[in-house]
């Protein structure tokens, strides 16, 4: 049975009480959400004809081609939308999140990360295609914006639900996730400095250093987010491919160095994936193992498939057909989990861990694993890479939140105040306890995903229309399909723009 949130009032201190409330509310939500993610992902997979596999090659072609084929000042390029999505996806979740999943759920959690990504690729295709279809032009700038709040309002005719989603996303990506990124940066720098948890003098010093790190992040973040989504996209276009490539190359070297042990590690992942230990109470919670819960939670945090976040970047792109951006974001899920998260998992599972590994959390566990492979410089390397990962995620997260803030109130003064609040949470995360921000992230992420999954299921017929339209054009010999809304009168009545 779940605890009563009222009982959390007995917890000493505000932070402990808040943490108690968050975990108490989050547990039953996630017990249901696990099955929604799997069920709705399978629904789109089956009724789209396994589109994530059939259109996989086309998704790579669309992503690469979009970098050159961009001639509309109203939107960013498809490639920029892809890397903006990756800037948010590829970050702390790929490094610290994977470590947390393995430390709590065992090696089997990796299997569930893989599975939810493969299923979720089709959910990502659906939500980003819908975001493109229902995107609008900003009245003051003429630029594209959209996302779940927009397709909920137009497609379902339920503005109140769109407002609720926008509010959940703003809290999640504008505030909570920003705290997670800055928190992980602080932990990585503390670990790289050699500050041990059992050293009281060092811990006391880091209470001061944390504030310095938070202030530095605020100074670096401010000029980027005040430049809006276009500046975010330009920064992400340069930073994301470089940082991801460096991390992947180091991981590949480590895997090659330990190639003999790789088969046994893969076998361990599959063996422990089905070792059952109930993750929660109630009917739904008792049906989910710890490995399954942790793998799916951390997988969703990392790849965001079905969560309703990446569609906000997808909507800002200028493309010929809504499905183009759907496929591109679908490929982003593959890159995030099947490639980057897998690299982190193998770095950890192939390592000879130190005796104090049980006391390490998140990023510090990954740093210890990397150090066991390559020596002490691994701590500094990962701290540097993580800083770039997390910082790019901060600006990528902001891009999502900005679009939804404009949905709530498209006002310059309100947007300025919001940006200042975002910077405040970047600072807050650098100095607060790690488990609090991660659990707050699970709650807000779960709320978003719950609303979005229901919405895309109710709008699924439009997703299938887009898929059929795209494929019919390909079969008729059209090299680059173009969507024409006039061909679909019923749909035209719902779309509130003249873009298509």
Q: Per-residue pLDDT tens for 210-251?
A: 888 888 889 888 888 887 666 776 777 677 677 778 888 888
So what's the pLDDT on residue 129? 96
User: With 80 as the cut, is the pLDDT of residue 68 above it?
Assistant: no
So what's the pLDDT on residue 459? 96
The mean pLDDT value of the chain amounts to: 81
More reliable by pLDDT, 323 or 92: 323
Q: What's the chain's length in residues?
A: 500
Lowest mean pLDDT among 254-263, 366-375, 474-483: 366-375
How far apart are alpha carbons 328 and 322 in whole angstroms?
10
So what's the pLDDT on residue 386? 74
User: With 70 as the cut, is the pLDDT of residue 363 above it?
Assistant: no
More reliable by pLDDT, 273 or 56: 56
Distance between the two ends of the chain, CA-based, in angstroms? Answer: 51
Counting Cα atoms < 13 Å in the Cβ hemisphere of 15 gives 9
> In this structure, are residues 451 and 153 in contact, taking their beta carbons and an 8 Å threshold?
no
So what's the pLDDT on residue 463? 96
Lowest mean pLDDT among 151-155, 442-446, 457-461, 493-497: 442-446
Residue 308, C-beta contacts closer than 8 angstroms, at least 6 positions apart: 127, 147, 148, 165, 169, 448, 449, 451, 452, 455
User: With 50 as the cut, is the pLDDT of residue 128 above it?
Assistant: yes
Task: Work out the average pLDDT over 9-35.
Answer: 76
Nearest to 398 by CA among 227, 187, 251, 242: 227
More reliable by pLDDT, 366 or 211: 211
So what's the pLDDT on residue 359? 58
Task: Work out the average pLDDT over 316-334.
Answer: 90
User: With 70 as the cut, is the pLDDT of residue 429 above it?
Assistant: yes
How far apart are alpha carbons 103 and 162 in whole angstroms?
37
Q: Which residue has the tokens 């939308």?
A: 81
Superfamily the domain 15-353+366-493 falls into? Amino acid/polyamine transporter I (1.20.1740.10)
Q: How many helices (H) and strands (E) does the chain have?
A: 24, 2
> In this structure, are residues 337 and 115 in contact, taking their beta carbons and an 8 Å threshold?
no
Question: Where are the domains positioned within the chain?
Answer: 15-353+366-493
**Please, which pLDDT band fits residue 3 given cuts at 50, 70 and 90?**
low
pLDDT tens per residue, range 181-199 = 888 788 777 777 776 556 6
Nearest to 214 by CA among 239, 188, 179, 190: 179
pLDDT tens per residue, range 380-410 = 777 787 777 777 778 778 878 888 888 888 7
Q: What is the pTM of this model?
A: 0.82
The H-or-E segment that residue 352 falls in is: none
Q: State how far Cα 177 lies from the chain centre.
A: 9
User: With 90 as the cut, is the pLDDT of residue 471 above it?
Assistant: yes
So what's the pLDDT on residue 183? 82
Lowest mean pLDDT among 173-187, 222-236, 439-453, 468-482: 222-236
Task: Work out the average pLDDT over 477-494.
Answer: 91
Dihedral pair phi/psi, residue 101, rounded to 5°? -60, -45
So what's the pLDDT on residue 180? 81
How far apart are alpha carbons 2 and 191 in whole angstroms?
35
pLDDT tens per residue, range 273-299 = 887 554 444 434 444 567 777 777 777
How far apart are alpha carbons 244 and 209 in whole angstroms?
28
Token pair in block for residue 85: 């999505």
Residue 247, C-beta contacts closer than 8 angstroms, at least 6 positions apart: 340, 343, 385, 389
Using a CB cutoff of 8 Å and minimum separation of 24, what contacts does 75-79 make?
A: 75/143, 75/144, 75/316, 75/317, 75/318, 75/319, 76/229, 76/230, 76/233, 76/316, 76/317, 76/318, 77/317, 77/318, 78/317, 78/318, 78/319, 78/324, 78/325, 78/328, 79/237, 79/328
Most confident of the ranges 30-39, 53-62, 87-96, 349-358: 53-62
User: With 60 as the cut, is the pLDDT of residue 60 above it?
Assistant: yes
Token pair in block for residue 132: 């493109």
How far apart are alpha carbons 83 and 235 in whole angstroms?
9
């Amino acid at each position: 049975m779940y605890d009563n949130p009222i009982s959390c009032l007995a917890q000493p201190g505000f932070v402990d009480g808040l943490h108690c409330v968050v975990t108490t509310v989050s547990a039953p939500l996630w017990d249901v959400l696990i099955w929604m993610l799997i069920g709705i992902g399978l629904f789109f997979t089956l009724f789209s004809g396994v589109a994530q596999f059939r259109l996989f090659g086309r998704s790579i072609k669309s992503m690469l081609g979009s970098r050159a084929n961009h001639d509309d000042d109203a939107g960013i390029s498809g490639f920029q939308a892809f890397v903006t999505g990756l800037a948010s996806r590829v970050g702390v979740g790929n490094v610290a999140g994977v470590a947390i999943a393995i430390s709590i759920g065992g090696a089997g959690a990796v299997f569930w990360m893989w599975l939810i990504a493969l299923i979720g690729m089709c959910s990502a295709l659906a939500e980003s295609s819908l975001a493109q279809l229902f995107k609008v032009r900003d009245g003051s700038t003429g630029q594209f914006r959209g996302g779940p709040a927009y397709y909920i309002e137009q497609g379902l005719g339920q503005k109140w639900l769109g407002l609720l989603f926008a509010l959940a996303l703003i809290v999640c990506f504008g505030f909570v996730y920003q705290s997670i990124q800055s928190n992980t940066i602080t932990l990585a720098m503390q670990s790289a400095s050699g500050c041990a948890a059992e050293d009281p003098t060092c811990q006391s010093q880091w209470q001061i250093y944390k504030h310095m790190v938070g202030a530095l992040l605020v100074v670096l973040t401010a000029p980027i987010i005040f430049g809006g989504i276009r500046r975010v996209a330009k920064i992400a276009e340069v930073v994301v491919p470089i940082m991801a490539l460096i991390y992947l190359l180091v991981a590949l070297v480590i895997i090659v160095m330990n190639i003999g042990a790789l088969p046994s590690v893969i076998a361990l992942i599959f063996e422990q994936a089905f070792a059952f230990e109930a993750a929660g109470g109630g009917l739904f919670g008792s049906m989910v193992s710890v490995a399954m819960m942790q793998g799916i939670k951390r997988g969703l945090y990392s790849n965001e498939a079905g969560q309703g976040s990446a569609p906000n970047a997808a909507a800002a792109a200028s493309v010929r057909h809504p499905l183009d951006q759907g496929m591109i974001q679908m490929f982003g899920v593959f890159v995030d989990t099947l490639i980057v998260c897998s690299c982190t998992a193998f770095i950890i599972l192939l390592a000879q861990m130190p005796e104090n590994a049980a006391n390490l959390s998140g990023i510090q566990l990954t740093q210890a694993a990397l150090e066991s492979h390559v020596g002490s410089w691994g701590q500094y390397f990962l701290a540097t890479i993580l800083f770039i990962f997390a910082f790019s995620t901060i600006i990528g997260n902001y891009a999502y939140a900005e679009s939804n803030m404009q949905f709530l109130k498209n006002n310059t003064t309100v947007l300025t105040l919001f940006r200042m609040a975002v910077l405040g949470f970047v600072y807050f995360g650098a100095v607060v306890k790690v488990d609090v921000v991660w659990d707050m992230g699970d709650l807000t992420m779960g709320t978003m995903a719950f609303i979005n999954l229901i919405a895309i299921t109710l709008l699924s017929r439009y997703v299938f229309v887009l898929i059929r339209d795209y494929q019919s054009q390909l079969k008729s010999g059209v090299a680059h399909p173009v969507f024409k809304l006039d061909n679909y009168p019923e749909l035209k009545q719902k779309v509130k723009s003249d873009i298509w």
